[in-house]
A and B are shown apart, each in its own frame.
Chain A
């Protein structure tokens, strides 16, 4: 049903495939924040990097956490991966990011219109709300649907050179994540801080 929404000719892609395409492009120790559930499971499955942070709760906070990293390290590119259901929890964060204008932050929304992990119930936005229109309306002018995988890669390239925050929305299928993140929050946080050069291992 949600595919009838006015989102252009966006192809239905796959979260793991799109995440892997993003990771393959990262050559400068860019930070990546993976939102709760399948979003970070596929980030994990795409191959662990020390600059990855995996959320194990606090649904909806991938973009705020990424904003904090971006403000702390303005010279590092920061990517945040979030599901549509998670984003709906914290739409106000889009305006905060638009107001703060971090030039190094790129937000990627994986939109399947469902809470896949809880039993594929449709979100309240499915079929009625357009996430890119919400983002633009929240002040994030540089927001776009990826038409297909090639377009996604092009948008990522653009974002890497951008001087304003950008948001890329991707229509994805209803497949679960490919892997399962090791649920070790202290180690995740510590490794991430090593990866960002904030700390050295003991």
Chain B
């Protein structure tokens, strides 16, 4: 794998997760609740290792959305990390909290279900993600290239905050390597 999964430091090593970590920090996003995902593991590990961030697991993704929504109202920025199947649990909280209350909810979704998926359920649930985002007219980007990652992430965070609107940044297997059958 070309992914620097063995890196313990996420800073400026040019890896996708190092770029995400640095972009979060630069935008003063310090509260990171997550439901884990294999592909996100190096990012989660490095976030835990960095005292700038408060990084912790939640039992469900909507719980994490509630937490960062409360934190935003209290003046602290956060972002939620999850997998495609976790996003599928969020339609209610997006439609009843994040969107109507105008919360700049920043979501990173590790994309399962495409480009080599081995679990039929994952491939099906993946197909529900963009229609849900589109049905609420939510901003979302699918990031496939390392050279576009920082630009899309940084600009999207700033847009979410200034327009007080949620954004979903979908981390495609072309960027992360994804999860394959032998792992």
A residues contacting the other copy or chain, number (CB 8 A)? 39
Q: Answer whether A71 and B100 are a contact pair too, CB < 8 Å, given A90-B60, A95-B59.
A: no
In the bound assembly, the distance between CA atoms of A146 and B58 in angstroms comes to 28
In the bound assembly, the distance between CA atoms of A198 and B75 in angstroms comes to 6
Residue A9 is within 8 A (CB to CB) of chain B in the complex:
no
In the bound assembly, the distance between CA atoms of A92 and B58 in angstroms comes to 8
Most buried by B among A70, A99, A188, A189: A189
Chain B, interface size category, equals: 20 to 34
| CB nearest to A138 among chain B residues | B59
Most buried by A among B62, B70, B96: B70
Contact of A186 with B101 in the complex, beta carbons under 8 Å: yes
Q: Answer whether A71 and B59 are a contact pair too, CB < 8 Å, given A57-B97, A61-B97, A188-B101.
A: no
Within the complex, which residue of B33, B58, B95, B101 is in contact with A189, where a contact is CB–CB below 8 Å?
B101
In the bound assembly, the distance between CA atoms of A78 and B171 in angstroms comes to 35
- Expressed in whole angstroms, the minimum distance between the Cβ of A25 and any Cβ of chain B is 21
Residue B103 is within 8 A (CB to CB) of chain A in the complex:
yes
Q: Answer whether A69 and B71 are a contact pair too, CB < 8 Å, given A57-B95, A99-B56.
A: yes
Contact of A61 with B100 in the complex, beta carbons under 8 Å: no
Which residues in window 41-92 of A have CB below 8 A to B? Answer: 53, 55-61, 63-73, 76, 90-92
Residue A100 is within 8 A (CB to CB) of chain B in the complex:
yes
Binding site for A on B (CB under 8 A): 31, 33, 54, 56-60, 62-76, 78, 92-93, 95-97, 100-103
